[in-house]
Amino acid sequence: MQCGRVDLKSAPYDTIQLKRGPSWLDKSCEEFGPPLFSSTHGSRVPLSSILQQVQLEAILWGIGTALGELPPYFISRAGMCTSFYT
């Protein structure tokens, strides 16, 4: 956001490791390329540009979460049905 770029999937970002900071923290904005968003947006990046990049992952995460809830549901439902008929 600081450099006016939100290319999340192609940017050379690395994770912070123990006793070592990320390598991108010490770089200047010129090393990442020209800003994608001009100063008309100020320092803010439009939320729609971020949502476009993470839409597929968010949908798959939601589907995975819903599927993960099914086994406990069926187990509890089977337990209720057997106690109801006995």
Which two tokens mark 78?
Answer: 């089977």
Count of structural domains, the chain = 2
The pLDDT of residue 56 is above 80: yes
The 8-class DSSP code of residue 30 comes to G
Residue-wise pLDDT for 8-49, tens only, equals 666 665 566 666 666 666 777 777 777 776 655 455 677 887
Range(s) of the domain holding residue 33: 1-45
Pair 53, 78 in one domain = yes
Pair 8, 40 in one domain = yes
Pair 41, 61 in one domain = no
Mean predicted confidence (pLDDT) in 63-75: 94
Pair 26, 38 in one domain = yes
Residue 8: what residue type?
A: L
Which pTM value belongs to this model? Answer: 0.55
